[in-house]
Amino acid sequence: MRILVTGGAGFIGSNFVRHLLDHYPSDDILVFDLLTYAGNLANLPSLPSTARLSFIHGDICDEQTVAQTMAGCDAVVHFAAETHVDRSLLNARDFMATNVQGTYILLEAARKHHIQRFLYISTDEVYGNACSPTGTSRPSQETDTLRPLSPYAASKAGADTLAFSYWASYGLPVIITRSSNNYGPYQYPEKQLPLFILNALEDRPLPIYGDGQHSRDWIHVYDHVAALSLLLHQSESNMDGEIFNVGAHQERTTLENATLVLKSLEKSPEQISFVQDRLGHVRRHAVDTTKISQQVGWQAKISFEEGIKQTIEWYQTHPEWIEGIQQKQNDFLDTALHLGEMRSTR
Ligand SMILES: NC(=O)c1ccc[n+]([C@@H]2O[C@H](COP(=O)([O-])OP(=O)(O)OC[C@H]3O[C@@H](n4cnc5c(N)ncnc54)[C@H](O)[C@@H]3O)[C@@H](O)[C@H]2O)c1
């Protein structure tokens, strides 16, 4: 199968590419990525290392390039997106363009090229707070109403429902996944766990929004990409138009994560720094994974304790990757990691 992977140079996309290369020897992979601040060729195996992997630098909002790139592909796995909630609160324009318009352009091209499987990587952020229709807190189910609380989540919900409509209207064989929060190797360090790890290692503050009691279900990226690969290789037409939650049932608060990272690195709890809460901050994200477990036989295998230990070790043993990112001098990241202050005192 020839698979077009959009956003394959990002965090989850690159882990997915590695998983396919390791476990599906008959798949060829074409990564299509704009290499925004979050995209990084260093996330991928070096390109000449395998004939099964190729790369095209391009924008999913560019109709012509997308159409040319999709020719000859059998499947599309669509990760490419603007992904940081905090950035969407500062400026939502790119989120609307890439996440909504870009997804529309890919769906149109997929329809014209008779793509046999279109996997859309949505998120549990589309649900807003995890609760029943009567407002009782419980893990979100695929049939729950979407109540996104941030511009990022709203843009993903727009694309998620658009993808569904391409199955309903045109019969495009779409599958939609809504995963909980991922962590693991190659995650851009503006996101919570790598930010905590890097700041802890360098004795800088770990910022905690509000009271620190916001909770998320944390899934290791290796478990997530295993679920995606299983779904991608389902050929039955009764999978078309289906939506699957993906999660690990490992709910943890921000404060618990910061405390665990500091303890693991034998650092002082005084590095914890409470900051003003985020706008529209979802109190609880959690997903019910009964459907993917019953229909596909998938469940997460990596415990949070094991996964965070491996992740901390990965960031400790990849200084060249961290250095490469920091050299790009992104203002948002520099502020989160206090790098501007460090540079000016050097
Ligand atoms: N990280 C999570 O916890 C999480 C959870 C659930 C779902 N998701 C979804 O998974 C997908 C991947 O997330 P991630 O954390 O790996 O993101 P990421 O920010 O690490 O990577 C995004 C990738 O998309 C590329 N990209 C951005 N705009 C593009 C454009 N216009 N054209 C082509 N490429 C473009 C970037 O260069 C980058 O390589 C996203 O769709 C996200 O919404 C993420």
CA distance 222 to 15: 7
Eight-class DSSP state of 265: T
Low-confidence ranges of the chain (pLDDT < 50): 346
CA distance 151 to 95: 8
* Residue from 36, 289, 332 whose mutation best tests the ligand 1 pocket (most atoms within 8 A of CB): 36
CATH fold for domain 2-186+219-246: Rossmann fold (3.40.50)
**How far apart, in whole angstroms, are the C-alpha atoms of residue 214 and residue 237?**
39
Residues with a CB atom less than 6 Å from ligand 1: 6-7, 9-13, 33-36, 38-39, 59-61, 79-81, 83, 98, 102, 121, 123, 156, 179, 181-182, 188
> Is the distance from CB of 69 to CB of 4 less than 8 angstroms?
yes
Q: The tokens of 223 are what? A: 């478990």
Distance 134 CA to ligand 1 centre (A): 33
Domain boundaries, given as residue ranges, for the chain: 2-186+219-246
In tens, the pLDDT along 149-182 reads 999 999 999 999 999 999 999 999 999 999 999 9
At 82, is the secondary structure helix, strand, or coil? coil
Q: Are 19 and 90 in contact (CB under 8 A)?
A: no
Residue 80: its pLDDT value, please?
Answer: 98
Closest C-alpha among 255, 38, 290 to residue 142:
290
How buried is residue 293: exposed, middle or buried, by Cβ count under 10 Å (0-12/13-18/19+)? Answer: middle
Task: Give the DSSP letter string of 124-137.
Answer: GGGG-S-B-TTS-B
Q: How does pLDDT run across 287-326, given as a tens digit for each residue?
A: 999 999 999 999 999 999 999 999 999 999 999 999 999 9
CB-CB contact of 71 with 65 (8 Å): no
